[in-house]
Structure 1
Amino acid sequence: MKEKKIALADRSTKIIPIQWDATYFFERAVRSMDRYHYDKALKYFRRAAEYEPENPVNHCNMAGILSEMGNYEESNRILDSIVNELDPEMTECHFYMANNYANMEMYEAAEDSLVRYLEEDAEGQFLEEAEEMMELLHYELERPTKLAFIKAREGFFEHDRARAMLEDGKFAEAVRLLESIVEKNGEFLAARNNLALAYYYMGMFDKAMATIKQVLELESGNLHALCNLAIFYQHAGDKEELAPLVELLCKTVPFHQEHVFKLATTMGILGEHGEAYRHFMRLLKDGALKSDPCLFHYAAVAACNMGRYDESRRLWQQVKKLDPESHVPGYYLEQLERMENGQHAAPASYHYHLPFEEQFRLWEKSTESLPDHMKRDPLVRSSFFWALRHGDRHTKLQVIQALGMIADNEVKDALREFIIEPQEDDYLKRIAIFVLRSIGVHESLHAILEGEETVIEHSRMPSRLPIWEDKWQSVLEAALARMNKHYDLVQQHDLLTLWIEFLSRVYPDVPKFGKVEGWAAALEYLTAKMHRREISYHEVSQRYGVSIATVSKCAKRIDEICGIKEKMRMIFPALADHRE
């Protein structure tokens, strides 16, 4: 017995110590969760967090268990402390908080957390779940979610905004946004395609061509890019490059509705009207777009160009039913009879608006301002910007006046660029400067006039006079204030030019101006005469509140110096001397 005790004493006792650390308690917590023992799991996660208080994962796990147990408020308190104190990069905590708030039916708070998650999380781990929650919140709050940006889809949301800008005719804004998207994500081909179109709409043809070729370098079969390239080749008159591309497009039969529509409109622009008609009719037979007046118009134009006048009449009559307020179907139905008799060419444009010349004709008939539909229509705006770069002198003059009536930031940017173009006509640039001032651009303007770079300050008129007196400005303002609704911008600019010419010729012996209204009335009178408008001394004297003698005296003085009547005789030799 004694020997046995000794033998037992000789054995070395092996005790395995337990490692009490965060990992141990984490593993115990996970095993408890697997068995749905949430109380034990919570206890173990708390112990793990005690061992590693700076580790946000342990705290996040604890918040997750609390949420499973229905303790949403405590869960959110922990999640909030994680993103505000431990690790702001754990953006998924905002998604967990959104879930907790939704379970508490606190939908406004849920929306705030969800939006923060989507705007901060770059990985998009819970993107699909977040989109499902957005639908729930939309339903509960009865309004769209207040979301401006999804970081995990960086560029996609902004791209939608840029497309909306293009549809609204805000081309310069769209260009700035699309350029930033492409700079961040060079493989975002849809953004590159739309950037090319934006350049094209603004008349920046070289940039448009370079951008579309970049798309095709990245994806040679991109249908949108191929269609855009074909249109650009046609614009450039490059028949050699265009022919094989048209042949390829004629063989293309796209499946997706968006691609069918793109190809159809492209073939119409390229003059392949049979192909365009075939694709447009595919879309109409599909039924999804059967209430779209634009689509019926496009099909009507294609049919008309094919000589199928009965079909085009039927289609335009359908447009009239779908869009009774539009001028477009009525205009083309009126022209159709002349087309059938060969007296009028078939429409060259597939755009759903009146021809450019017809737009101007309607505007000129409206007397006072540009019709609202012309201001809003992005295709009309595109026509204006294109004509400002590529139109003839007369068209550019009309466009500058029209842009002055639109008067938004897009217009201001376009006119600022116009006045620094060396090849543009100086008179047109001076009109553009006048328009910029009249629509509220008060900062210094950089222009190229008479071949030299010039800075035009707001406090000075664009003249060579060494000074500009307040009294002279008062005369000008008195005239322009009364002319505003009765004279177009060109005529107002010509009054300004006449006043500067008079002052420049008499300087420094400028007469002492008593009643500024007398000189202002004289300027209006002479400007009206230069533009062959009906006017009398009596009429202007009444409107300016001065005597006929005062207006006559001032007008004769300006005429003596500037030779207005002599210039008019040279321009209109058959015009007899005017007698009051």
Structure 2
Amino acid sequence: MSQRKRAASSRRSKVIPMRLDATFFFERAVQSLDRYHYDKALKYFRRAVEYEPENPVNHCNMAGILSEMGRYEESNVILRSVIDQIDPAMTECYYYLANNYANMEQYEAAEEALVHYLEHDEEGQFLDEADELLDLLGYELNRPTKLSTIKSRENLYAHDKARELLEAGRFAEAVRMLEEILVRQPDFVAVRNNLGLAYYYMGLFDKAISTISEVLEAEPGNLHALCNMAIFYQHGNQESPLRELLEKLRKTVPFHPEHVFKLATTLGIIGDHREAYRHFRRLIRTGELANEPSLHHFAAVAAVNLGRYNEAERHWNQAQKLDPNSSVAAFHLRRLPQVRSGEEKPPVHYHYHLPFEEQFRQWETKPGLVSEALKQDPLIRSSFFWALRHGDRKTKVQVIQALGLVADEEVIESLKAFLVDPKEEDELKRVAVLVLRSIGVQDSLSVTFGGRPLTLEARRKSERLPVWDSSWQIVLEQALEGMSGRYDVVQQHDMMTLWVDYLSRVYPEVPKLHKSSGWAAALEYWTAKMHRRTVTYSDLVDRYGASQASISRYANRIDEACGIREKLDLTSPSFRGKK
């Protein structure tokens, strides 16, 4: 080969072929835009469209250039073709249309396009710009624009509503709403955090742990999730992971007041009152939340647990000054001398409300007050649901009975969930069943008794009892005690149902229950007969300490109201002889 031919061959091998595709023309268009060469940019975007005619982005780019050049009508034709023919889901085209119409001074058309964008676009890429355009259109049209919703903000609005439900103690509703949001937006961390709390308040401990663990997998440093998990660990007596987490929380110094408050209350609940007090004092000193009476109350609780009684008194006085209508600070100030002397224990609950024992003492003579408070005060309502899961046995009994005075859907769902929790005592569940029946819940109930699931059959509807008297409860408890070990759960449930049925029929003319043991024995008597079990008055007299005459008299009263003999066909002489 000659030298000239070799040189030519060498030059040809060094030529890099140019690949002409949509990307090439897109890059050329962008370079032209950077130099403000709109004509060239438009030409290159047209070529990009020719190479990829089904790509809506190329069309939108071309429409954007035409809009920049003031050729709004041509731009709109392209945008309409994208919506009508290429990709109807490309909702940002409506925002571009609205801008074009506004520049053409066609304000009503601009408003129509903008409303469509806001109500259908899920991403919200141009929300700030849309707000500015709404202001302009409102000025030009001399009226506000009517919007039914802003699609991209729906999850935010729904989250705010769910938080309100959570704070109001309506946990089941909050859970449903939060779960729906996560289906639409799985990466919404705040929603997952609140969902974990809602599960916890409902007693779904494992689901709460699992949900908060998902938050920490996505954001290991999420303070709200770390605090929630610490409380969950304490509730579950998981000491080892709690210690490890506490070390991390004690080293955390948050900046935002909301985070400081969350950390402080968490440490207090866990029992680290010293660290909690340090953060509460920091919040008070910085002044961010210094006018919040609850903050001073929490600081006082931490201080009194540290033996710093003078500081606790000062904080409670400040809380009372900031919230003179509340009785919380006054109550603790009255108790403070007894706490100082060691006669009473300091409060340990970080809640801005009276202790349950004090609330029930105030309400026991006026049942209507507790009903009104539970319906109107979200803080009291949520605290009652919390106590249903985490209070002591006495408190739970009081709470179950108090919730029966409200008897709304949330109460019913919470009591039903309580019935299937294997960790709750069977006796408490019997009280819950009684309350549910007394407020008119007559459908079948799923219950876990003695560690095994059961279904209590539906009962016919009886007149709702507007109150539940403590004397009625005494009769019930004596009957349950007398029947314990002799009757199964279903038979005990039937006894409770009979008692509610009797009270419902005679209310409000309920007789004075001076001899509760005789009434309890009469209930067992009829329960035994309903289940074809042998029972004698002698057995009942020995077990309940009531006279045979009293038991017979009360059994007849129950029969007169409920018609048990007629239903069981027990009117024959042979039956009467088997008493």
TM-score tier (shorter)? 0.5 to 0.7
Please give the residue correspondences for 1:10-21 in structure 2 after superposition, counting only pairs within 5 Å: none
Q: CA deviation at 1:497?
A: 6.5
* 1:150 equivalent in structure 2: 152
Deviation at 1:275, TM superposition (A): 2.0
Cα displacement string for residues 38-78 of structure 1 (whole angstroms, at most 9, x for unaligned residues): xxx99x999x9999999867876787688679898997787
1:549-574 per-residue CA deviation (whole Å, 9 max, x = no partner) reads xxxxxx9x999x998xx77993689x
Question: How many Å apart are 1:282 and its aligned residue?
Answer: 1.9
Q: What are the ranges of 5 or more consecutive residues in structure 2 without an aligned counterpart?
A: 1-23, 480-492, 518-522, 530-535, 554-579
Instruction: Please list every run of 5 or more consecutive structure 1 residues that lacks an aligned counterpart in the other structure.
Output: 1-22, 462-472, 505-515, 533-554
RMSD of aligned residue pairs (Cα, Å) = 5.5
Counterparts in 2 of 1:131-170, with a 5 A limit? 146-147=148-149, 149-150=151-152, 158-170=158-170
Q: Distance in 2 between matches of 1:218 and 1:49?
A: 40
User: 1:453 aligns to what SS in structure 2?
Assistant: strand
Determine if contact 1:401/1:490 at 8 Å carries over to the other structure. Answer: no
Residue matched to 2:209? 209
1:539: which partner in 2?
none
- The answer as to whether partners of 1:434 and 1:493 remain within 8 angstroms in 2 is no
Query: In the alignment, is residue 484 of structure 1 matched against residue 458 of structure 2?
Result: no
| Preserved contact between residue 499 and residue 523 of structure 1 (Cα < 8 Å) | no
Query: Which amino acid in 1 is paired with 2:331?
Result: Y
Q: Does 1:275 align with 2:268?
A: no
Q: 1:224 to 1:493 in 2, by over 3 A?
A: same
Residues in 2 aligned to 1:322 and 1:209: alpha-carbon distance in whole angstroms: 37
Within 5 Å, which residues of 2 pair with 1:294-313? 294-313=294-313
Please tell me whether the aligned partners of residues 168 and 376 of structure 1 are also in contact (alpha carbons under 8 angstroms): no
Which amino acid in the other structure matches residue 118 of structure 2?
Answer: V
The residue aligned with 2:416 is 416
- Contact 1:137/1:145 (8 A) holds in 2: no
Change (3 A) 1:143 1:361: farther
**Residues 280-291 of structure 1 aligned to structure 2 (within 5 Å):** 280-291=280-291
Could you tell me how far apart the structure 2 residues matched to 1:449 and 1:248 are?
40
User: Cα gap change, 1:134/1:333 in structure 2, threshold over 3 Å: closer, same or farther?
Assistant: farther
Q: How far did 1:297 drift?
A: 1.9
Residue 178 to residue 50, structure 1, CA distance change in 2 (3 Å): closer
For 2:84 and 2:271, how far apart are their aligned partners in 1? 62
CA, structure 1 residues 387+416, in 2 after alignment: closer, same or farther (shift >3 Å)? same
Corresponding residue of 2:566: none
Give the Å deviation of 1:92. Answer: 0.7
8 Å contact from structure 2 (residues 159, 181) kept in 1: yes
Q: Distance in 2 between matches of 1:454 and 1:62?
A: 67
Does the alignment pair 1:118 with 2:92? no
Amino acid at match of 2:201: Y
Aligned 1:251-270 pairs, distance under 5 A: 251-270=251-270
1:98, 1:113 within 8 Å by CA — same for their partners in 2? Answer: no
Q: Distance in 2 between matches of 1:558 and 1:453?
A: 23
Relative to structure 1, is the Cα distance of residues 426 and 278 closer, same or farther in structure 2, using a 3 angstrom cutoff?
A: closer
1:496-527 alpha-carbon deviations (Å, 9 max, x no partner): 977965999xxxxxxxxxxx99x944995447
The 1:244/1:499 distance shift into structure 2, 3 A limit, reads closer
Judge conservation of contact 1:419–1:448 (CA < 8 Å) in 2.
yes
Aligned to 1:466: none
Give the Cα separation in 1 of the matches to 2:311 and 2:146: 43
For the residue of structure 1 that corresponds to 2:454, the secondary structure is strand
1:464-483, CA deviations, whole angstroms, 9 ceiling, x for partnerless residues? xxxxxxxxx7xx54xx5xx5
Contact 1:401 1:488 in 2 (8 A): no
Q: State how far apart, in whole Å, the 2-side matches of 1:385 and 1:433 are.
A: 17
- CA distance in 1 between counterparts of 2:395 and 2:411 reads 16
Contact 2:471 2:513 (8 Å CA) reproduced: no
Question: Does the 8 Å CA contact 1:231/1:270 hold for their aligned counterparts?
Answer: yes
1:74-94 deviation digits (Å, cap 9, x = unpaired): 977875675355531221122
CA distance in 2: counterparts of 1:56 and 1:230, whole angstroms: 50
User: Residue 92 of structure 1 contacts residue 117 of structure 1 at CA under 8 Å; is this kept in 2?
Assistant: no
Distance 1:64 1:440, change over 3 A: farther
Structure-2 separation of matches of 1:138 and 1:314: 53
1:353 deviation in Å? 1.4
SS at match of 1:329: helix
**What CA distance in whole angstroms lies between the structure 1 residues aligned with 2:375 and 2:472?**
19
Structure 2 residue 435 is matched with structure 1 residue 453: no
1:572–1:385 Cα change, 3 Å: farther
Distance 1:432 1:241, change over 3 A: closer
Cα distance, 1:144 vs structure 2: 10
Give 1:436-451 correspondences, 5 Å limit: 436=436, 439=439, 441=441, 444-447=444-447
Please report how far the alpha carbon of residue 137 of structure 1 lies from its aligned counterpart in structure 2 after TM superposition. 8.2
TM-score (norm 1): 0.65
Mapped to 2, the partners of 1:113 and 1:351 lie a distance apart of 46
**What CA distance in whole angstroms lies between the structure 1 residues aligned with 2:495 and 2:332?**
44
Cα distance change, pair 261–177 in 1 and its aligned pair in 2 (3 A): same
Kept after mapping to 2: 8 A contact 1:250/1:275: yes
* Whole-Å separation in 2 of the counterparts to 1:212 and 1:341: 42
CA distance in 2, matches of 1:194, 1:174: 9
Question: How much has 1:134 moved relative to structure 2?
Answer: 6.8
Which amino acid letter does the alignment assign opposite residue 405 of structure 1?
A: L
Tell me which residue corresponds to 2:544: 570
Residues 377-428 of structure 1: CA deviation (Å, up to 9, x unaligned): 5554444334434555543332222222333333222222233446756665
Letter matched to residue 168 of structure 1: A
Q: Which amino acid is the alignment partner of residue 454 of structure 2?
A: E
Spell out the pairing of 1:205-244 with structure 2 (5 A cutoff): 205-244=205-244
Distance in 1 of aligned mates of 2:245 and 2:45 = 66
Distance 1:307 1:424, change over 3 A: closer
3-state SS of the aligned residue for 1:368?
helix
Secondary structure of the residue aligned to 2:311 is: helix
The code of the aligned residue for 2:175 comes to: V
* Partner secondary structure for residue 261 of structure 2: helix
The residue that corresponds to 1:395 in the other structure is: 395
Secondary structure of 1:370's counterpart equals helix
TM-score (norm: length of structure 2)? 0.65
Shift of the 126–227 alpha-carbon distance from structure 1 to 2, 3 Å rule, reads same
8 Å CA contact retained: 1:491, 1:527? no
- Asked whether the equivalents of residues 92 and 121 of structure 2 are also in contact (C-alpha less than 8 Å), the reply is no
Q: Superposition pairs for residues 480-559 of structure 1, below 5 Å?
A: 484=466, 487=469, 520-521=505-506, 524-526=509-511, 528-529=513-514
Instruction: Report the counterpart of residue 332 of structure 1 in structure 2.
Output: 332
Contact 1:115–1:146 (CA under 8 A) maintained in structure 2: no
**Residue of structure 2 equivalent to 1:90:** 90
Percentage of matched positions with identical amino acids? 50
Partner AA of 1:147 in structure 2: T
How far apart are 1:491 and its partner, in Å?
5.7
Offset at residue 348 of structure 1 (A): 0.6
Aligned partners of 2:134 and 2:145 also within 8 Å: no
Task: Report the counterpart of residue 543 of structure 1 in structure 2.
Answer: none
Aligned equivalent of 1:323: 323
Whole-angstrom distance in 2 between the partners of 1:572 and 1:142: 77
Question: Do the aligned residues in 1 keep the contact of 2:331 with 2:354 (CA within 8 Å)?
Answer: yes
1:365 is displaced (CA, Å) by 3.5
